[in-house]
Structures are given as C-alpha cells and as structure tokens.
Amino acid sequence: MIKVGIAGAAGRMGRMLVEAIAADDKTVLSAAIVSPGSSLLGVDAGELAGGNNLGVPLTGSLSDSIHQVDTVIDFTHPEFTMANAALCAEHGKSMVIGTTGFSAEQQQTLKILSEQSPMVVAPNMSIGVNLVFKLLETAARVMGLDADVEVLETHHRNKVDSPSGTALKMGEVVAKATGRDLGQWAIYGREGNTGVRERETIGFATVRAGDVIGDHTVLFACEGERIEITHKASDRMIYARGSVRAVAFLQGKKSGFYDMQDVLGIRDC
C-alpha cells in the first residue's frame, strides 16, 4: 500500500482526496495536514470527509508527519506548496501538486527540487481535461495561424486566481504548437477601442459566478467556420481520481518533473 499524506485535508478538495484514497485499493491515508491554527486539529480525516473513522487525525505540520508518508498530495496555495515541496525533496518523498498560481520563479524552483525527488505538477488533474490538452495541440497544429484563438473559462465565485491555471495551460499548449510565445501574445480581457484583432494574439475571458466547478472552452475561429473544444466539470472527484492515479505513477521513480500527460501515457500520441 502506498502511504499518502494530504496537505490541505480540511478543504473541499482535501476531503475529496481523503475519500478517493480510502476507496482506492493501492493507497492508504497516513497523514492529513491543515493550517496550524485550524479549529479542526485532532479531528479524524475520514469522519471530516463524511466517511468512516480512518484513525488519521488532522495535524498542523507536514514536518511532523513526513516520515509516515511515501507521497504528499498538495492542493493548497503557492507559498505553502513551495515549503512542502522543499521538505519532501529533503526527505526523498514524492509529490502530486495541483496548486495553481505559481510564479515563473516558483515553477523553476519546483523543477530544481524534482531532481531530488519526483513530482507530478499539473494545473488540472482531470483525465478529461488532459485529453483536451492533447486535442488542442492537434487542432492548433492543423489550424496554424489561420484561426483566431480565444480561451473562455468559468469558475465559482471563490476562486482567487484568474485566468485559471487550466486556461493558461490551454493557451500555452496552443502557443507552443504554433510557435508563439504566450507571454508576448496573450490578451487578458479587452475594453474600449482596442483596434483590429491581431491574428497572433490568444485571448482569455474569465467569469467568476455561483458554484461552477469549472468550464473551459477554446475557440478556433476562421473565415466561414469555427471549432470549439470544451470541457465541463460537474464533480470535483474527477480531480481526486486523477491525483490518485498520479500517486501510483510516481512509485519507483527517484526523481523527475512530470505532468498528467506523462501519467496518462499520451505525451507522444
């Protein structure tokens, strides 16, 4: 059994992860970490997730549990994830990271840390979304610069980063497939007299409303026709199941920086 620790175990995603790990026959929950000042310290993680008592109380520090885990799943915030990644690298523990909002410097640091212990880093752990990334790559190569590309995403009102990490990844996939630098050509919203659209630009539109788990559409618009590739999430459990699959993928690996394309074996398809 693979011993798994969850950082942010009391959050919505954390509780889903507890449930997914308990349901999987290859993993066992061995640590559940929350913020040090949480009022839930000591509560059993399984009961908090709405299931059976797992005998794993919520604790306030990963360092106190690091020797009890093989892998840590982290869906928290960039500053917390970076601290956890450094600790895991120090102790040779693998990581599955679903946190979004990293700076370019933080992303580079994660790649350096992955030389000490392996990690899967992905803005979206959904199997369906990662299949969409592959479809987008194919569509972008076929359409080239003949299509105007727009990325539209909707999430619940409590999501704090914008555009979503998934939307940015979609833009990166299209940009790379067509030889563009997303940093140069991305347009994050439009207002006023913006002039004629430059064909090379990749636009992003963001909506925050209600309890939408996550909707993403990439539009390729040409003269006379358009293609829309869409993914809609209706259950957060898709992210948890993908994360558990990533945990299994990392077993036996000593180092390496991976994403869900590697986990699903579709990078070279």
CATH no., domain 127-233: 3.30.360.10
Half-sphere exposure of 37 (CA within 13 A, CB side): 0
Q: Is the dihedral of CA 19, 235, 243, 67 positive or negative?
A: negative
Q: How far is CA 141 from CA 84, 115, 144, 147, 174, in A?
A: 38, 32, 5, 11, 8
Inter-residue contact 76 to 18 (CB < 8 Å): no
Tokens of 16: 């889903």
Q: CA geometry: angle at 169 spanning 95 and 35, to 5°? A: 40
User: Residue-wise pLDDT tens for the chain (269 aa)?
Assistant: 999 999 999 998 999 999 999 999 999 999 999 999 899 999 999 999 988 899 999 999 999 999 999 999 999 999 999 999 999 999 999 999 999 889 999 999 999 999 999 999 998 899 999 999 999 999 999 999 999 999 999 999 999 889 998 999 999 999 999 999 999 999 998 999 999 999 999 999 999 999 999 999 999 999 999 999 999 999 989 999 999 999 999 999 999 999 999 999 988 76
Residue spans of the domains in the chain: they are 2-121+236-264, 127-233
Q: Distance between CA atoms of 199 and 182, rounded to whole angstroms? A: 13
Architecture (CATH level 2) of domain 2-121+236-264: 3-Layer(aba) Sandwich (3.40)
Count other C-beta atoms under 10 Å from residue 40's C-beta.
Answer: 16
Q: Which residues are catalytic?
A: 155, 159
pLDDT at residue number 138: 95
**Which residues on neighbouring strands pair with residue 153, listed in sequence order?**
206, 216
